[in-house]
């Protein structure tokens, strides 16, 4: 029984840890499917986390915080689209610029409003919901925030459905593979890219807000700490397919939760814990090499589209 | 009522407009950031005085500007070397840490040698470490056509984990228990340049790198070949340049220079390796390289400016209570404004 | 009443008149071939019909109604579809997805139903294709069928095909013709642009020949023959032979032996090419574009590695050699695409010295003064209207070509490879280039001129070789240059004795 409980708690932790990254990764999946790499992901998550926290703190409403966080992500997505799609600026540079801007804004506002404290400010977070409270094991696993359920059971399947079963998804994929052909077929490449960046930005910010409003109920400098880059790795790992990306996020969440638990238990392993953490990245690089050979990379990724 | 329609005509903007770009950039940045400053309950004009002018007026703060610029100059140049040839090295951050790792190690085993020799050895080894860390993504790009943006990005994360493992394991400081490497030997530290300041020899190294890269870029056939490959791969290939080898070399040199950035931070400021050695110098380097127009002197100037902004942000913070992060916001705003301007200068707005 | 009628269509691009008061009619249900050389105006005329260009003057009538075709969307709405040589397909998508892309606007896609629809449409027109197949894995012929199916799915009644057999292997051509007949039975009217006479004669009901932007004749296929058509395609008045001086006989400088090479898609582009160029002669390679000329030039310039065969300059084997090695052997290489072959963002001076930086450096440091002087000299000598410090991309086409010539001729090469040297240039620039090539010939260089412009070939060459489908199908000396024979060779009708190529 103890083993079952251990697995159950680990699974629960996995789902929790995976949620914010999965949200961001789904957003980035749409972006990359349309041919845009959004390196602003780290900053958008960070600002989303802060805006969510701050608004929730001053209004007293967690939902208001979440809403404003999503809006901040949407606005940043539009900004990114303006630079990369309308102006045709190099995607990496504008993405990093946006990460810097968003992080700077968040930290500035954070220091302004909460500066000088020794402990991070906190608010009562979202409650966890346990739909199957009476059933053992399941009541441990399914003890999650609403947002987690929404992410895994609604956002991921709907994203998959949109991507592969709707004409919108087909347009997005066409734009990411061969924008000239898409353009010739009457698809508006610019609107599609604006759309995915905006939608993606909203999801990324939502991911950040999950951390501050649900998982931690607090905001700190290191609240994101590289999760944005993990999301980018997951998108590739998952071959730009929402379900596979979800799988990747579970693997990541799982290894993270596992190594945390092992550390808490005081277990000494012959290899450092960081190996677990680095594993997703290494596997992703291997996936990239294979993907390069098989050409399942969205062919137009990173190339700005200029119609002469 | 008919709307006034404008169209952008793709011809060069008038010269007078182009000359004004730095000024317009500064003004726009000022306007955009003043909102934040006002929110911080300060006067924007006063803030900008402390921000940009005050740091230059005092000895201590002026030297601090140079100190802060040192790693930025190096990462900026590192990124420039790669970008010029069309290789998007996003991995300067990781390559910096590779160099730092090598330096921190050598600093503990080199003893009983003269400082100049130590500097030479550590310079070479940090360059080599950064180069080696850049090698795999470069090879993947040149021979397997795997895009370097994501691979170099992932390599950043991997080395940070490696360093965390090392610092929490074999290199954990036995005395304090903190995850920091043992202090490096006295002789291996970069000498102070000016008494009672943090300015160290690393600044001279940085300027030397700028000079060397500038020379290569503008005065040698190598520089011309690197540029040719970045600006017109087919034309370069037709003219007989080995495009693949050129890109590979650019990528490796880029990694090496970023490695030197790690060295100067370890041997000049920290004297040991810590996980937070770099607050994103590698990424900021990309921004600086862009702002400097991928030209060594311009990048050096941009790096100094960023150093000024970072120092100034602390000054403003102390003087007016405005959060120090104004620095980052200003840097980002300036970048975005310049990006917008880069393109605007290629077009002309015409009324239809 | 004609399905399509184009009246007095005129279209000008700058100085060039692409279509000069062209009249064209398409009868209902016919297959109508549009013949002509490069630059005759066929593609331009059809692009006007499909809404990609707009005519300067003239009218278009569909079913007797005057129409304005402002864009491909308008054309499709009027029932006109076009399949070009460059396919607009998304490789990882299936056939069905490519067919409906941008056309089917439902929220959700039932791929099974759509595949069934596409399958039945394909069956109706006799096109064999698997709707669920992934386009990336299809052969070129199959991809073309997808493009045709795309047009048919949008219910076009007029189908324009631009050089459709250029990308097909012979076996696929038969399948393709069968499909065309099926389409005809289903009431589709077809316009078939081509330069391949045999095929045009085999499939079409009527033929219109264009030359220099004008209609030469529209005639029933059954009442004409290839020779007559060839003459109409290339027929000219007499030309002035501007060459003087004798060829240095029997002194081969450039020899190509049994050369085979593939194009970018991996298909065979050069098929057992053998030729010889002697000192002091211009060998002109004639032929309609797309028959392997590009690949031949690339192989000779060192940017395409041949599969088999050898390239010899002064008896030195250069097949597969690097561009630098080839230049070092005394070969002057001019790139076919002057924009890709130069580096636009670099200066004129930098581009001039790019091939031989070693001459202008000491210990890798550039001798800027020497470079500047070299550039000034060349600018002066070759009358390039530019300063050494100008960005190369700001130069006009003519000046870019002068720059390329200067770069090459300054070194007094023994061999000059000149592919399409006057493409896109105005009269003055063209004359200049010709003058340079003739001077080089007088100087004793061996010049290989590749051109789609038959006038140019006729005016400059001592001997003329014709390329068709990757082979040399005949070689004539200038005196024997019979316009009819050339036309027949260029259209693939005539294949001469190949031994004539290696003889002098």
Nearest one of C239, C289, C229 to C456, comparing CA atoms: C239
Nearest CA-CA distance, residue A202 and chain C, Å: 22
Give the residues of chain A that fall short of pLDDT 50.
Answer: 295, 308
Q: Which residues of B touch C342 (CB under 8 A)?
A: 232, 235
The whole-angstrom distance between A294's CA and the closest CA on chain B is: 11
pLDDT in tens, B258-281: 999 999 999 999 888 988 899 889
Secondary structure, 3-state, C119-155? HHHHHHCCCCCCCCCEHHHCCHHHHHHHHHHHHHHCC
CA distance C18 to C12: 5
Please check the confidence at residue B181 and state whether its pLDDT lies above 90.
Answer: no
In this complex, is the C-beta atom of B253 within 8 Å of any C-beta atom belonging to chain A? no
Q: What DSSP state is assigned to residue B51?
A: I
Chain A closest-CA separation from residue C103 CA (Å): 7
- pLDDT at residue C426, as a whole number: 77
Contact B146 A288 (CB under 8 A): yes
In angstroms, the separation between the Cα of residue B313 and the nearest Cα of chain A is 11
Q: For residue C372, which residues of chain B lie inside 8 Å, CB to CB?
A: none
pLDDT of residue A300: 74
Closest residue of A to C110, CA-based? A165
- Size of the A and C interface in Cβ pairs below 8 Å: 61
Write phi, then psi, for C30 (nearest 5 degrees): -100, 160
What subunits touch chain C, counting only 3 or more CB pairs under 8 A?
A, B
For residue C13, give both structure tokens: 């691009």
Quickly tell me which residue has 């996020």 as its tokens.
Answer: A249
B28–chain A Cβ distance below 8 A for any pair: no
C282 vs C477: CA distance, rounded Å: 11
Mean pLDDT per segment of 10 residues, for chain C of length 504 residues? 92 86 94 87 91 92 92 90 89 92 82 92 89 90 92 92 83 88 93 87 93 91 87 65 63 93 88 93 90 94 94 92 92 92 93 92 92 94 91 89 93 94 84 91 93 87 92 89 82 68 38
- State whether A170 and C109 contact (CB < 8 Å): yes
Contact status, residue C410 vs residue C378, Cβ threshold 8 Å: yes
Q: How far is A297 from chain C (nearest CA, A)?
A: 10
CA-derived radius of gyration, chain C: 25
Q: B235 and C322 in contact by Cβ < 8 A? A: no
pLDDT at C246: 62
- The mean predicted confidence, pLDDT, of chain C is 89
Residue ranges of alpha helices (H) inside C302-426 are: 323-328, 348-353, 368-381, 397-409
* Residues within 8 A of A (CB atoms), B 265-304 only: 283-284, 286-287, 290
Integer angstrom CA distances of residue B37 from B109, B309, B320:
49, 15, 10
| pLDDT at residue A131, rounded to an integer | 83
Helices (H), chain B: 15-39, 44-48, 54-57, 59-84, 92-109, 115-144, 148-168, 201-219, 221-231, 233-238, 243-265, 281-291, 296-320, 326-344
Query: Can you say whether residue C89 is alpha, beta or left, with left for phi > 0 and alpha for psi between -120 and 50 degrees?
Result: beta
B166: closest chain A residue by CA: A272
* Phi, psi dihedrals of residue C277, rounded to the nearest 5°: -125, 125
As a whole number, mean pLDDT of residues B70-81 equals 97
Using the beta-carbon criterion (under 8 Å), do B236 and C303 form an inter-chain contact?
no
Considering CB atoms only, which of B284, B286, B329 is closest to A101? B329
Residue A118 burial (CB count, 10 A): 4
- B32 interface with A at CB cutoff 8 Å: no
CB contacts, 8 Å: C91 with chain A: 177-178, 295, 299
Strand order in the sheet with C252-262: C268-278, C252-262, C308-313, C316-317
Residue B28 has pLDDT above 70, yes or no: yes
What is the C-alpha to C-alpha distance for residues C61 and C66, in angstroms, rounded to an integer?
4
Yes or no: say if A75 and A201 are a contact pair by the CB < 8 Å rule.
yes
| B47 touches B326 (CB < 8 A) | yes
Q: Which two tokens stand for residue C404?
A: 């390329």
pLDDT for residue C352: 94
State the count of interchain CB pairs (< 8 A) between A and B.
139
Note the pLDDT of residue A294.
55
pLDDT at B54 over 90: no
Collapsing DSSP to helix, strand or coil, B162 comes out as helix
CB-CB neighbors (< 8 A) of C358 in chain B: 221
The three-state DSSP-derived secondary structure of C238-272 is CCCCCCCCCCCCCCEEEEEEEEEEECCCCCEEEEE
Q: Which of C318, C343, C353 to mutate to test the interface with B (most CBs of B within 10 A)?
A: C343
Q: Which H/E stretch holds residue C285?
A: strand C282-286
**ipTM of model:** 0.86
Residues of C in contact with B235 (CB under 8 A): 335, 340-344, 351, 354
C424 against B322, higher pLDDT:
B322
Transcribe B277-332 into DSSP letters: S-SSHHHHHHHHHHHTTT-HHHHHHHHHHHHHHHHHHHHHHHHH---TTHHHHHHH
- Chain C environment of A173 (Cβ under 8 Å): 90, 92-93
- Is A118 in a helix, a strand, or coil? coil
Considering only the beta carbons, identify the residue of B220, B222, B232 that sits closest to C343: B232
| pTM > 0.90: yes or no | no
Q: Which of helix, strand or coil describes residue C14? A: coil
User: How far is the alpha carbon of B149 from chain A, nearest alpha carbon, in Å?
Assistant: 8
What was the pLDDT predicted at B351?
Answer: 40
Q: What is the DSSP letter of B273?
A: -
Q: Give the span between the Cα atoms of B30 and B20, in whole angstroms.
A: 15
Q: How confident is the model at residue B344 (pLDDT cuts 50, 70, 90)?
A: low
Predicted pLDDT at C243:
63
pLDDT of residue A308: 35
């Amino acid at each position: 029984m103890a083993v079952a409980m251990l697995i159950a708690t680990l699974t629960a932790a996995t789902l929790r840890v995976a949620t914010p990254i999965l949200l961001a990764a789904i957003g980035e999946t749409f972006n990359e499917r349309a041919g845009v790499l959004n390196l602003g992901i780290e900053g958008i998550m960070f600002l989303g986390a802060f805006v969510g926290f701050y608004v929730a703190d001053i209004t007293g409403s967690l939902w208001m915080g979440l809403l404003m966080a999503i809006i901040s992500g949407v606005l940043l997505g539009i900004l990114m689209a303006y630079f990369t799609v309308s102006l045709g600026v190099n995607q990496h540079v504008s993405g990093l610029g946006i990460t810097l801007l968003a992080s700077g804004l968040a930290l500035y506002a954070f220091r302004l409003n909460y500066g000088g404290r020794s402990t991070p400010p906190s608010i009562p977070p979202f409650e966890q919901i346990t739909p199957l409270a009476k059933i053992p094991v399941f009541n441990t696993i399914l003890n999650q925030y609403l947002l987690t359920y929404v992410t895994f059971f609604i956002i991921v399947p709907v994203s998959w459905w949109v991507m592969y079963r709707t004409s919108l998804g087909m347009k997005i994929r066409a734009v990411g593979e061969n924008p000239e052909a898409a353009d010739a077929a009457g698809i508006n490449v610019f609107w599609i890219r604006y759309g995915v960046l905006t939608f993606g930005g909203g999801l990324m910010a939502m991911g950040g807000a999950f951390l501050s409003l649900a998982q931690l109920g607090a905001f700190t400098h290191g609240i994101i700490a590289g999760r944005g880059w993990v999301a980018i790795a997951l998108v590739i790992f998952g071959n730009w397919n929402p379900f596979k990306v979800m799988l990747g996020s579970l693997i990541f969440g799982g290894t993270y939760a596992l190594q945390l638990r092992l550390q808490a238990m005081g277990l000494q392993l012959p290899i450092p814990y960081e190996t677990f953490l680095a594993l997703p990245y290494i596997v992703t690089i291997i996936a990239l090499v294979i993907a390069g050979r098989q050409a399942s990379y969205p062919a137009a990724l990173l190339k700005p589209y200029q119609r002469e | 009522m008919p709307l006034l329609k404008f169209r952008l005509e793709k011809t060069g903007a008038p010269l007078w407009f182009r000359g004004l770009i730095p000024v317009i950039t500064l003004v726009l940045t000022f306007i955009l950031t003043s909102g934040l400053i006002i929110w911080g309950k300060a006067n924007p004009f006063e803030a900008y005085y402390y921000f940009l002018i005050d740091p230059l007026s005092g000895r201590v703060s002026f030297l601090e500007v140079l100190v802060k610029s040192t790693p930025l100059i190096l990462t900026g140049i590192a990124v420039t070397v790669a970008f010029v040839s069309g290789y998007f090295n996003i991995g300067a951050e990781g390559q910096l840490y590779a160099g730092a790792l090598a330096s921190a190690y050598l600093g503990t085993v080199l003893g009983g040698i003269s400082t100049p020799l130590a500097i030479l050895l550590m310079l070479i080894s940090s360059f080599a470490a950064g180069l080696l860390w850049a090698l795999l993504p470069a090879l993947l790009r040149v021979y397997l056509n795997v895009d370097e943006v994501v691979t170099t990005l992932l390599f950043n994360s991997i080395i940070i984990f490696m360093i965390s493992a090392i610092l929490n394991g074999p290199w954990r400081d036995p005395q304090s228990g903190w995850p920091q490497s043992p202090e490096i030997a006295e002789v291996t530290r970069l000498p102070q340049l000016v008494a009672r300041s943090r300015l160290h020899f690393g600044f001279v190294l940085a300027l030397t790198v700028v000079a060397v890269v500038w020379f290569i870029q503008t005065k040698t056939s190598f520089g011309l070949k690197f540029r040719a490959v970045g600006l017109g791969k087919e034309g370069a290939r037709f003219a007989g340049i080995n495009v693949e080898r050129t890109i590979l070399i650019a990528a490796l040199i880029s990694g090496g220079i970023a490695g030197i950035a790690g060295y100067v931070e370890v041997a000049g400021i920290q004297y040991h390796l810590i996980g937070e050695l770099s607050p994103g110098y590698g990424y900021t380097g990309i921004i600086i390289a862009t702002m400097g127009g991928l030209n060594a002197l311009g990048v050096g100037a941009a790096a100094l400016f960023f150093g000024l902004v970072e120092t100034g942000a602390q000054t403003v913070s102390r003087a007016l209570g405005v959060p120090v992060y104004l620095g980052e916001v200003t840097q980002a705003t300036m970048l975005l404004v310049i990006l917008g301007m880069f393109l605007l200068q290629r077009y002309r707005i015409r009324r239809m | 009443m004609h399905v399509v009628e184009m009246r007095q269509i005129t279209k000008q691009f700058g100085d060039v008149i692409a279509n000069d008061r062209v009249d064209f009619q398409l009868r209902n249900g016919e297959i109508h071939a549009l013949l002509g050389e490069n630059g005759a105006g066929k593609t331009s005329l059809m692009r006007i019909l499909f809404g990609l260009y707009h005519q300067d003057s003239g009218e278009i009538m569909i079913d007797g109604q005057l129409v304005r075709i402002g864009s491909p969307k308008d054309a499709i709405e009027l029932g006109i579809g076009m399949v070009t040589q460059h396919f607009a397909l998304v490789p990882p998508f299936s056939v069905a997805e490519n067919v409906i892309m941008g056309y089917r606007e439902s929220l959700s896609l039932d791929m099974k139903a759509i595949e069934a629809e596409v399958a039945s449409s394909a069956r109706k027109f006799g096109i064999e294709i698997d709707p669920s197949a992934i386009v990336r894995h299809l052969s070129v012929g199959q991809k073309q069928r997808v493009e045709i199916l795309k047009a048919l799915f949008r219910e076009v009644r007029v189908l324009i095909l631009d050089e459709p057999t250029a990308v097909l292997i012979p076996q696929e051509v038969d399948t393709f013709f069968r499909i065309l007949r099926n389409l005809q039975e289903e009431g589709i009217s077809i316009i078939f642009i081509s330069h391949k006479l045999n095929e045009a004669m085999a499939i079409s009901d009527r033929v219109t020949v264009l030359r220099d932007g004008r209609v030469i004749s529209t005639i029933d296929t059954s009442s004409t023959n290839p020779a007559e058509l060839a003459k109409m395609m290339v027929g000219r008045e007499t030309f002035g032979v501007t060459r003087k001086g004798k060829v240095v006989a029997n002194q081969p400088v450039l020899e190509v032996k049994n050369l085979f090479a593939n194009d970018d898609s991996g298909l065979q582009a050069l098929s057992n090419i053998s030729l010889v160029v002697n000192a002091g002669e211009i060998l002109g390679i004639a032929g309609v574009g797309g028959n392997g000329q590009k690949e031949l030039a690339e192989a000779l310039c060192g940017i395409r590695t041949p599969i088999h065969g050898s390239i010899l300059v002064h008896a030195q084997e250069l097949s597969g050699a690097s561009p630098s090695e080839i230049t070092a052997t005394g070969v002057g290489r001019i790139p076919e695409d002057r924009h890709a072959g130069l580096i636009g963002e670099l200066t004129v001076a930098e581009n001039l010295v790019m091939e031989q930086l070693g001459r202008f450096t000491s210990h890798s440091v550039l001798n800027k003064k020497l470079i500047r002087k070299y550039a000034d000299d060349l600018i002066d000598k070759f009358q390039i209207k530019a300063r050494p410090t100008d960005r190369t991309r700001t130069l006009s086409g003519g000046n870019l070509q002068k720059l390329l010539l200067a770069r090459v001729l300054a070194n007094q090469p023994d061999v000059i490879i000149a592919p399409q040297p006057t493409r896109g240039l105005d009269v003055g620039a063209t004359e200049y280039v010709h003058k340079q090539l003739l001077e080089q010939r007088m100087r004793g260089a061996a010049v290989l001129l590749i051109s789609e412009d038959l006038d140019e070939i006729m005016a400059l060459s001592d001997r003329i070789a014709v390329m068709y489908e990757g082979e040399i199908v005949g070689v004539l000396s200038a005196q024997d240059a019979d316009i009819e024979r050339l036309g027949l060779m260029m259209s693939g009708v005539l294949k001469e004795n190949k031994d004539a190529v290696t003889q002098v």
